[in-house]
Structure 1
Amino acid sequence: MQNNDTDHIIQAIQQVCQTRHITYLHAIESGSRAWGFASPDSDYDVRLLYCQPSDWYLSLFEDKDTFEFIQNDLLSVPFDIGGWDIKKALQLLYKSNAVVFEWLHSPIVYEQKTDLMAHLQALSIDYFQPITVFHHYLGMAKNASHGLDLNAPVRLKKVFYLLRALLAAKWILTMHTPPPVIMMQMLELVDQKVQTEILTLIDIKRTQNESYIHQLSPIMISAIASLRASIDNPTFAPTTASDIAPLNAFYRSVVRSI
């Protein structure tokens, strides 16, 4: 990422917060740039966890707790920014929402209330429900597979979306923890030949635009089929609902600090 782009993004975050009268708690990159396989023309997908002025939380009826907009003239590639109010984010975390886990652990952080977010990251692991997050990535894999014939030349972008979702699902079954955000950190799940193939594809994608079409090797086609088979018919140990009190305490500390 170019430093100039980062400066523009931080300025946009600050402007959004000022215009909407919100305070960022955590502003990160999501999508392929965070996942480690961006193309030169990949979008910037900036996501915020934020809080409102304290009176917002004392209203009789709650107002909108999300926002998103796209600005096409900020950078040389598409740029969009959106976010969730902290109350919504904590409610989703309690339900083991996979997106919240990804946002909390994105490797690209633009702005952050560091102490607060370190506390929330530590709390989050208690709310990880393997079966819930597994089915999120299984659904992503099914969506990425739709209409995809790996024996023919395909958009490399779609292959990576499929591959990452399959690896994340297998990670959950194997490690019983939230999958890493960066796809390369999950490559231990496949053998060395497949790792080499994937790293080569990442290098190719870094030099080619999002529309690039690629013919996969027999090794990769077989590896993707093996990953699919490895996550069929999973079994999960029973889990119990986590105590909501720590999240309530965190939420109150945020609102009282505004």
Structure 2
Amino acid sequence: MSPQITPVPAETRQLIESRLASIASEQNIKILYACESGSRAWGFPSPNSDYDVRFIYVHSLDWYLKLDEDRDVIDLPLEHSSAGILDLGGWDLRKTLRLLGKSNPVIWEWLQSPICYHDEKLLRESREVFDPFYSPIAACHHYLSICRNTMSQGLNESTVKIKKYFYMLRPLLAAVWIERYRSIPPMELEPLLAALDDRLDIKCSISELQERKQNTDEQVPIPRITMIDQFLESEVSRLQEPAKLLPTGGGDKDKLDAFFCQSIIQ
């Protein structure tokens, strides 16, 4: 049985929430939503995995009423803390909605993260506006591209870091999910593995690797696993044609504009 999502320790959660409050004060912003976006939310952390905290924020109205647009992302250096390494970064709401309007799948991943640090509910309660923009064809190509790029970097030697396997497998299985269900794939690996119920050999191999990752330094290389290598190669190749036939999104830009205006004048 595959490991489940591990709760964030109370002291670590308090530290992250405190850092988010400090960032909001220092940057003069309001954080609408903050979540875990990396391996801890995906369900395959290592003992030394970073905390990958991503947040969506909004400025006051006057920030948006200027001829020149200021920087719309907050990138912070890695922070070493008693809880581990904190990797914090955020997107302004306007940037977020622009990317959502282009069907960027990252937004939907954040909004369904199983580990949430701050939630004004404004974004989660507006899914009826957001979800029509989700484009299965764009999302499937997005995940296949991530998988192919990681394969080209990670499968060129006789060994590979455990985390690299998961950085290939999760997006590939997300693409398989989209091909099969034409819907937003789960963020966590566990439900994605259900797509392999007819390939129990592969599913078991991945589950064993997942358990191994939870007890191993993710930077330590391991010998390549032929079964998983072949699965990655064959599925990436197989999905090329089906991906071209998937539907596009069709959201209402006027509703997205209205949501943005409502958000910045509150």
Q: Could you say which residue in structure 2 is the equivalent of 1:126?
A: 132
Q: Could you say which residue in structure 2 is the equivalent of 1:179?
A: 185
**Of 163, 166, 175, which residue of structure 2 is paired with 1:160?**
166
State the secondary structure of the residue aligned to 1:254.
Answer: helix
Q: Could you say which residue in structure 1 is the equivalent of 2:97?
A: 90
Determine the C-alpha separation between the residues in 1 that align with 2:145 and 2:98: 21
Equivalent position amino acid for 1:144 in 2: T
Higher-RCO chain (CA-CA 8 Å, sequence separation at least 6): 2
Deviations 1:184-217 (A, max 9, x none): 1111111223222212111110111111222354
Determine the C-alpha separation between the residues in 2 that align with 1:83 and 1:211: 26
What is the number of residues matched between the two proteins? 256
- Pair 1:56-2:80 in alignment: no
Q: Could you say which residue in structure 1 is the equivalent of 2:85?
A: 78
**Of 14, 21, 46, which residue of structure 2 is paired with 1:39?**
46
Q: Could you say which residue in structure 1 is the equivalent of 2:37?
A: 30
Cα gap change, 1:238/1:163 in structure 2, threshold over 3 Å: closer, same or farther?
closer
Per mean C-alpha deviation after superposition, the further-off stretch among 38-47 and 62-71 is 62-71
Deviations 1:9-45 (A, max 9, x none): 0100010001101001100111111111110111111
Cα gap change, 1:180/1:74 in structure 2, threshold over 3 Å: closer, same or farther?
same
Contact 2:134 2:248 in 1 (8 A): no
Contact 1:104 1:121 in 2 (8 A): no
- Pair 1:224-2:232 in alignment: yes
Output the aligned Cα RMSD: 1.9
Determine the C-alpha separation between the residues in 2 that align with 1:69 and 1:194: 38
* 5+ residue gaps, structure 2: 1-7
Cα gap change, 1:240/1:83 in structure 2, threshold over 3 Å: closer, same or farther?
closer
Determine the C-alpha separation between the residues in 1 that align with 2:167 and 2:18: 30
Task: Tell me the CA shift for residue 151 of structure 1.
Answer: 8.4
Determine the C-alpha separation between the residues in 2 that align with 1:73 and 1:238: 44
Cα gap change, 1:239/1:80 in structure 2, threshold over 3 Å: closer, same or farther?
closer
Per mean C-alpha deviation after superposition, the further-off stretch among 74-83 and 200-209 is 74-83
Identity %: 34
**Of 220, 244, 249, which residue of structure 2 is paired with 1:212?**
220
Cα gap change, 1:203/1:150 in structure 2, threshold over 3 Å: closer, same or farther?
farther
Contact 2:33 2:55 in 1 (8 A): yes
Contact 2:129 2:251 in 1 (8 A): no
Equivalent position amino acid for 1:103 in 2: W
Cα gap change, 1:47/1:192 in structure 2, threshold over 3 Å: closer, same or farther?
same
Per mean C-alpha deviation after superposition, the further-off stretch among 16-25 and 28-37 is 28-37
Task: Tell me the CA shift for residue 76 of structure 1.
Answer: 4.2
The TM-score normalised by the length of structure 2 is 0.89
Determine the C-alpha separation between the residues in 2 that align with 1:150 and 1:187: 25
Contact 2:135 2:247 in 1 (8 A): no
Task: Tell me the CA shift for residue 118 of structure 1.
Answer: 2.1
Equivalent position amino acid for 1:192 in 2: L
Determine the C-alpha separation between the residues in 2 that align with 1:86 and 1:121: 15
Determine the C-alpha separation between the residues in 2 that align with 1:183 and 1:53: 37
- Pair 1:148-2:148 in alignment: no
The TM-score normalised by the length of structure 1 is 0.92
Deviations 1:195-251 (A, max 9, x none): 222121111101111112223544433433332233122332554643212211211
Task: Tell me the CA shift for residue 99 of structure 1.
Answer: 1.3
Moved over 4 A (4+): none
